[in-house]
Structures are given as structure tokens and as C-alpha cells.
Structure 1
Amino acid sequence: MNKNRLLNNSQIVTLIAIIIYIFSCSSNILEDNKVAKNSTTNISSSKDLNLDIQELLQRQAQAWETANSQAIIADFAENGVFIAPGTSLKGREDIKKAAEGYFKEFTDTKIKITRIITSEKEGAIEWTWSDTNKKTGKKSQIDDAIIFEIKDGKIIYWREYFDKQF
């Protein structure tokens, strides 16, 4: 038995979310309460929540659900960074190309936002992502945690954490 055991991905994501919460004195935690109309997107309401960030996150979820690469990059700064397991992109054009590549391979993307932790310009979001592979018809679902940073109303940093095995 190895006493120097490493954390698994789920534990790392949870730890990151806790750290952001602890160090964000003005942070707000949201849980499932209100479902957006005409979408599987789920965002909670809070009078203290930064509504601009809430709206941006909802736009991102809806843009992925509707396969709208232009809407995805509209919320990113010109040199915004998008990182996911196995992928590191910089700039709107690279992000747009990657999104369009995804849309060629997958359909029926659905996103359910389950938690938002936010401060003035940064935060974390957890969402459940599901889709269907166009070639095989295989459906998949994954829980995704994202750390983000906003500057002048645009995403400058977006990093996703999920286990690619599922």
C-alpha cells in the first residue's frame, strides 16, 4: 500500500473549486433551482450573482448546444486561451476551428449547468455535457469542471477538467 497516493481527477476538480471559493471573499455559490426556457441549460438565480458572468456562461452553454461557433468565440477575448484535456488553444480563430471540428463529429449536445462559483472576474462552473457521435451513434455523458477568468467582459482564460475515459 502506497501512503503517497495521488489525488484522482474528481478530487482535483473538487479541490480547485474549494480553493476558488475560499479565496473569493465575494464569491457566490449556485445550485440547481431554475431551468432556462427552450434549453437543458440549468442556471440558478441569486440577487448577489454577477449577472454578466451568469449570462456569459449561459450563452456559452447555448452556443455549444446549438453548434454555433461564432457565438462561442464572441465571448472570448481576441487572444483568449481555451484549455481542455489534450487541447490547448489560443485566440478566437483556433477556438472556432476546434469547435467546428467538434460539430463535424458530434451532435445533440446538451449541457446542464449544476454549479457556478464566481467572484468579480473569475470563477468556476460545473456542468454535465452529453452528446452523440455522428459516425457511431454512440451517446456519451461527462461531468466537466471549468475554471475561467474574465477581463473587460470577455473570456481570457477557460480551462476544463474532465476524465476523457468516460
Structure 2
Amino acid sequence: MFNKLFKKKSPVKVYQPVSGTVVSLQEVADEVFSSEMMGIGFAVQPDSNEIVSPIDGTIESVFPTKHALTIKGDKGLEILIHIGTDTVELKGEGFEILVQAGDKVTAQQKIATVDFVSIKEAGKGTDVMVVFPSLDKGEKGKFDLSNQGDLVAEL
């Protein structure tokens, strides 16, 4: 009984949603993200066109313009994945979303394909932001931006 009451929760492993260089949100050329107005997190400067789920969870929503989606982790962690800056203006062009609201996903499962070349040609930014709207700013130190491996945090 006491083991169940006092058992430490295992951390949620958070992976990069796309291969590339992990950077802080402050480096993103969009003030909404760089000022952490939406929440804390990190960004990836992609070198691949495949987007994967950073955690195990359920797709909560896919924006109609396909540039963003939300995932609720199996342990309650909420994540917003925002692909590119000002990409809402593309109205879905260049994005192929492979999941829909209600789908269960596992960490590192492919959820989208993005044509970053056409996004650049349209004059839009290509950073992929991973934002945690419900995390306290004190959790920011848990993101490992130096690792440049798949695992970014254990929250």
C-alpha cells in the first residue's frame, strides 16, 4: 500500500519531433514563441521532412491548416507542435498530416511529412517548435539543448 502511495512517477521521455539542431525557443524568429507567450519548450532546425511524435499519447487536435497539432501524453503532459513560422498562411500547402484527433501515438511514431523546401521558397521559417503550455517556467532547465540526440527531456 505504501509503495503505491509514495512510488515516484516515472518521467515522461520527450524526443525531438524531427531530426536537426535543437535550439532554445528564444532563438526562434517569432516573438510569440521566443517570448514563451505560449509556454516553455524548445525548437528544432530540421534537416529531415519527417515529423514524429515526441511522446506517447493521444492526438488532441490537428489545426485545419495542418501547420500545428496538439498531443496529450499518457501521463497528462500537453504538447503543441508548431511547424514553421507564419506557416498558417500556407493554408496546408506543403504539409501531409498522417494522424487525426483521437489517434493514439507512440514516441517517435511518424505523424507528418513536411515539404520544408516549399516552405522556405514561400518565405516562411522552418523551425519546428515544441511547446508545453501547462509546464511551469521553472521546468525549463530540464531541456537538454546540448545533447543533439533524439531525447531532449525527461519531465
TM-score, normalised via structure 1 length: 0.26
Greater relative contact order (Cα 8 A, min sep 6): structure 1 or 2? 2
TM-score, normalised via structure 2 length: 0.27
